[in-house]
Amino acid sequence: MTQSQSADVDQRIVRPPATALVIFGASGDLTSRKLIPALCNLAEDQYLPEHFIVIGSSRSKLSDEDFRAKVLEGVKKHSRRPISPAVWEAFARNLHYQPLDGEKPEDFEALKQRLEALTAPHGVRFNYVYYLAMAPQFFGPIASNLKEVGLIEDYSKEARQTSVVVEKPFGHDLESARELNRVIRQSLAEEQIYRIDHYLGKETVQNILVFRFANGIFEPLWNRKYVDHIQISVCEDIGIGTRAAYFDQNGILRDIVQNHVLQMLALLCIEPPISLSDADSIRDEKAKVLRSIKRMTPEEVRENTVRAQYVAGTVDSETVAGYREEKGVAESSSTDSYVGLKLEIDNWRWSGVPIYIRAGKRLPKRITEITIFFNKAPDSLFKGRNIGELEHNVLSIQVQPKEGMSLRISSKPPGPRMRVRPVEMDFTYDSSFGVASPEAYERLLLDVMKGDATLFTRNDEIEESWDLLAPIFEAWSGPNPPPLYEYKAGTWGPPEADQLLAPMKHTWRKL
């Protein structure tokens, strides 16, 4: 498809109905770094509803003007492309601020009046989207206060659509996730809750479905008969920055694996859903995959998991501190900044296929990749030709930063001798589509305004993810925990992580 054709298709996009978006926690980082820049990019593409207002809300006492000035800084710094002054001005006219304490019912009355005053002049009924960009302990009080003043209507097809977007972390473990869900379900129906996992909004992650189900050639190979093993790597060069208070309580297994990695894995391994156009078809299949992942015994936790922490080292020619020296981290912290895992999906399609996962901070570079290693061809025809062992065909889906895919195949280099060399067939979004991919938050905000929950995580998926990690947390914090290894910042993690793959003679893919 050429660039102009793809633009034509995009222009046919149906704009969401009239929407008032209220962001709770609006003075925080997420609003300036992600949410407002995403909305501005949607405005730039004319994807926002014709009638649209945003109210930022938090405890800080800001005027509309203060709030606009604050988030404009964020837009300038973090938007994926410059926003034209005319688009910003039109957008900013609909951007407001309302101070609010999430635990004070009277503040919700004031919010209600503000919403009514701002929406009334439009003369149309507005849907309400509440974005909870804040710590989970506030989800319950905010939802119940919204409900109390009538800002959440009971769910029905006829009622005003009211949606609540909740950010991760959704709980700290299975118990707390269940409790959180119980609390918010007192005020909301499941259909009104949008649990965001921004990885599901990434183009390359959405493409997993198209790639698998819109091509005839891969699906027959997508199973234990042809797949040797799978690797998923989420590597970051950054440390924990200013987020010690959050990260040190959670660690990388909770921060990245419980949500982003398991969601990518689930999409990669689902059975064909019965439809792509209702949210539950895909979510049903994802939940089944998560449910099929083998739960580990304490012994298996020792064999199949490796956790580690970075010590001082060099990343991108810069000397950086070790994890325990980071500001806000306790000297004796045993929080994992790296994790390696070996999982198995114990179902008909995948049984026996090892799935290796690694995620870490302060690795040499930022790269997220899903890699499928297919079975090797028998080398009988090439025996005695001194070409070494044949290699796996490898399909790699690069989620970021260089969005694209590649397939490694064996080929004969030119010349009189019969030799075999691997070559890569690849495509990048950049060169094939000629347009920059939107940020994940753009797609997800648009979907919630349209009432499409396909790319949001359902409660049972969250519970399954916590459930399958529970034995690991238990063993790690138990009386005789497996070791916490070290790795130097700027390296690919602890050498012990190689041992996860060694029994099957596998090695981590070089990234």
Other Cβ atoms less than 10 A from the Cβ of 459: the count is 19
167-177: string of b/e by CB count within 10 Å (b at 16+)? bbbbbbebeeb
Cα–Cα distance measured from residue 378 to residue 39, given in angstroms and rounded to the nearest whole number:
53
Cα–Cα distance measured from residue 416 to residue 422, given in angstroms and rounded to the nearest whole number:
18
Q: Which is nearer to ligand BG6, 255 or 463 (CB)?
A: 255
User: Would you report the helix, strand and coil content of the chain in percent, each value rounded to 5?
Assistant: 40, 20, 40
Q: Closest Cα partner for 482 from 297, 250, 299?
A: 299
Which positions ≥6 away from 462 have C-beta within 8 Å?
Answer: 170, 171, 177, 181, 195
Nearest distance, CB of residue 22 and ligand BG6, angstroms:
22
For the record, the structure tokens of 461 come out as: 């998926």
Cα–Cα distance measured from residue 119 to residue 298, given in angstroms and rounded to the nearest whole number:
56
Q: Which is nearer to ligand BG6, 301 or 363 (CB)?
A: 363
Q: Mind giving me the DSSP string for 223-249?
A: STTTEEEEEEEEE-S---TT-HHHHHH
Q: Which is nearer to ligand BG6, 19 or 233 (CB)?
A: 233
| Three-state secondary-structure class, residue 464 | helix
Q: Which is nearer to ligand BG6, 43 or 252 (CB)?
A: 252
Nearest distance, CB of residue 441 and ligand BG6, angstroms:
10
Q: Which is nearer to ligand BG6, 102 or 201 (CB)?
A: 201
Residue 321 per-residue DSSP state: -
Q: Which is nearer to ligand BG6, 107 or 403 (CB)?
A: 403
Nearest distance, CB of residue 366 and ligand BG6, angstroms:
7
* Closest residue to ligand BG6 using C-beta atoms: 255
Backbone angles phi, psi at 180, to 5 degrees: -60, -45
Nearest distance, CB of residue 457 and ligand BG6, angstroms:
13
Q: Report the first-to-last Cα separation within the chain, whole angstroms.
A: 30
**Burial zone of 479 (CB within 10 Å; 0-12 exposed, 13-18 middle, 19+ buried):** exposed
Mark whether 51 is an active-site residue.
no
Nearest distance, CB of residue 198 and ligand BG6, angstroms:
6
Contact 129/19 with Cβ under 8 angstroms?
yes
What's the sign of the alpha-carbon dihedral 392, 256, 206, 192?
positive
Nearest distance, CB of residue 479 and ligand BG6, angstroms:
30
Nearest distance, CB of residue 67 and ligand BG6, angstroms:
25
Q: Which is nearer to ligand BG6, 163 or 368 (CB)?
A: 368
Q: Which is nearer to ligand BG6, 341 or 353 (CB)?
A: 341
Contact 64/97 with Cβ under 8 angstroms?
yes
Active-site residue (options: 51, 198, 260, 392): 260
Nearest distance, CB of residue 267 and ligand BG6, angstroms:
16
Alpha-carbon 289 to chain mean position: 17
Q: Which is nearer to ligand BG6, 241 or 503 (CB)?
A: 241
Nearest distance, CB of residue 436 and ligand BG6, angstroms:
15
| Three-state secondary-structure class, residue 121 | helix
- Tell me which residues touch ligand BG6 (CB under 6 A): 198, 236, 255, 368
**Burial zone of 213 (CB within 10 Å; 0-12 exposed, 13-18 middle, 19+ buried):** middle
31-70: string of b/e by CB count within 10 Å (b at 16+)? bbbbbbbbbbbbbbbebbbebbbbbbbbeeebeeeebbeb
Tell me if the bond preceding 169 is cis, omega within 30° of 0: yes
Which residues are known catalytic residues?
260
